[in-house]
Structure 1
Amino acid sequence: MSHSRRYYGQYCGLASALDVIGERWTLLIVRELLLGPKRYGELLAALPGMGTNLLADRLKFLVENGVLTKPANRDQGYALTEVGRQLRDPVLKLANWGMGFLGRPDDDLEVRPHWGFLAVQSMIDANRAGDVDEAYEFHVDDVVFHIQVADGQVKALEGPYGGEAAMVARTDAYTFVEIGAKRLTPFEALASGRLSMIGDVESIMRCSALLGLAPGTPTH
């Protein structure tokens, strides 16, 4: 246990949670592992600006506290435990809340395509799913994922949809995050050529509504 680690010393659930995940970089490690297990080198590459010693410290602490499992060999990666996976909804909600504070995407800010997948999950409002059975596919740079709506349930899944998607969108990661932050509407991105969408108008509008991007949707 690091002597420099800060503890709140309060008998409170929130303070107790922050004792475990409140240190800088910790939730970003969780963000990466929400997409699946990753080896040490993969985590280091996915977290630009984080030094190797700090990553090792954070991983050790999270393993000791039962949030992560340590890989048994070099071919395996760190993974979230059941306790760690319980952070999915809070992290997605926090990510969605944080979009309201995003400014202009300066050139010195990193963005990765797979973060777009988490952004989509954070934007989904299942109450807007409607009575349909269809899928929407997203190509963000070199990453593909899709949303499937069926029987009032919504799932966001990595990889292309197995059948014919009702809508296919293609864009880059910067544009995708700007749209999610509502700094740019999908229709502005379409007009500027930064986004392409294939599908019937009704499906495109249903997908936009599902993600809170339809015209008239309240901003953050």
Structure 2
Amino acid sequence: MPPRRSYDQYCSVARALDTVGDRWTLLIVRELLAGPRRYTDLHADLPGVSTDVLASRLKDMERDGLATRRRLPPPGAAYVYELTGRGSALLPVLQALGTWGEAGLGERGPTDAVRAHWFALPLLRALEGETGLVEVRLDEGVFHLRAGAGTGPVYGDGPAGQEPDAVLSLDTDTCTAIGRGELPLADGVRAGRVAVDGDGPLAKRLREA
């Protein structure tokens, strides 16, 4: 592989950007925070990226120790990419970027793509301090979050797969308002814009917040 481009600056910020500063890299990390993903799944959930660029970024991420590639056992027998510990450690970086970017989110444009699970990181920020498995039901689809997860995937597509600690049902406008920092989750629950189902302590806390 060609040598990695570098800012050649003895600065931790510059070193970090040497590794994750290329276009698409952090968005690939966002997708892999859901756990192992096939190349075709990544390409489908990164609208606008070319196959050549995606393949190049994944190779760079392998080289830099952010991701690994492995083959699933039969009957799957497909290759998947997943984050290493160093790659997973970028979660708070993405959370901070998301918070910083809230002011520039604005209204959704006519050409803006959206996937239900892209709301996972904003909702994880809204659930900061909580721990538990949360299923989220949106107009665009269903996904689940692992609030307070220390290791492993922090979200995933589809239902939780086991009894969640809480189920949140809300429309896209409400979720967007939460993502833009305009509506605290607790205010959305109190206003009836977010329905909370479940019998566990987490669901009770969210209803009573």
Q: TM-score, normalising length from structure 1?
A: 0.71
Q: Counterparts of 1:148-163 in structure 2 under 5 Å?
A: 154-155=148-149, 158=156, 159-160=159-160, 162-163=162-163
- The alpha-carbon distance between structure 1 residues 146 and 86, as it changes in their structure 2 partners (threshold 3 A), is closer
**Corresponding residue of 2:104:** 101
- The alpha-carbon distance between structure 1 residues 9 and 71, as it changes in their structure 2 partners (threshold 3 A), is same
**Corresponding residue of 1:75:** 78
Distance (whole Å) between structure 1 residues aligned to residue 99 and residue 53 of structure 2 = 26
Contact 2:133-2:144 at 8 Å conserved across structures: no
Letter in 2 for 1:123: A
- The alpha-carbon distance between structure 1 residues 174 and 71, as it changes in their structure 2 partners (threshold 3 A), is farther
Matching of residue 111 in structure 1 with residue 109 in structure 2? no
Distance (whole Å) between structure 2 residues aligned to residue 45 and residue 163 of structure 1 = 29
Q: What fraction of aligned residue pairs are identical, expressed as a percent?
A: 35
Distance (whole Å) between structure 2 residues aligned to residue 61 and residue 135 of structure 1 = 32
Deviation at 1:92, TM superposition (A): 2.1
Contact 1:111-1:174 at 8 Å conserved across structures: no
Q: Counterparts of 1:1-220 in structure 2 under 5 Å?
A: 1-2=1-2, 6-72=5-71, 75-126=78-129, 129=130, 137-140=135-138, 141-146=140-145, 154-155=148-149, 158=156, 159-160=159-160, 162-163=162-163, 168-173=167-172, 175-183=174-182, 195-198=193-196, 206-207=205-206
Q: Deviation digits for residues 15-60 of structure 1, max 9, x if unmatched?
A: 1111010011100001100111111111111100000111111111
Contact 1:135-1:161 at 8 Å conserved across structures: no
Letter in 1 for 2:15: S
Deviation at 1:95, TM superposition (A): 1.9
Distance (whole Å) between structure 2 residues aligned to residue 161 and residue 54 of structure 1 = 33
Deviation at 1:96, TM superposition (A): 2.6
Q: Deviation digits for residues 69-100 of structure 1, max 9, x if unmatched?
A: 12347613111112212212222222232223
Deviation at 1:174, TM superposition (A): 5.4
- The alpha-carbon distance between structure 1 residues 107 and 146, as it changes in their structure 2 partners (threshold 3 A), is same
* Gapped regions of structure 1 (runs ≥ 5): 149-153, 215-220
- The alpha-carbon distance between structure 1 residues 71 and 28, as it changes in their structure 2 partners (threshold 3 A), is same
Letter in 2 for 1:64: R
Distance (whole Å) between structure 1 residues aligned to residue 181 and residue 203 of structure 2 = 17
Distance (whole Å) between structure 1 residues aligned to residue 70 and residue 39 of structure 2 = 9
Q: TM-score, normalising length from structure 2?
A: 0.74
Letter in 1 for 2:54: L
Contact 2:38-2:80 at 8 Å conserved across structures: yes
* Gapped regions of structure 2 (runs ≥ 5): none
SS of corresponding position for 1:77: strand
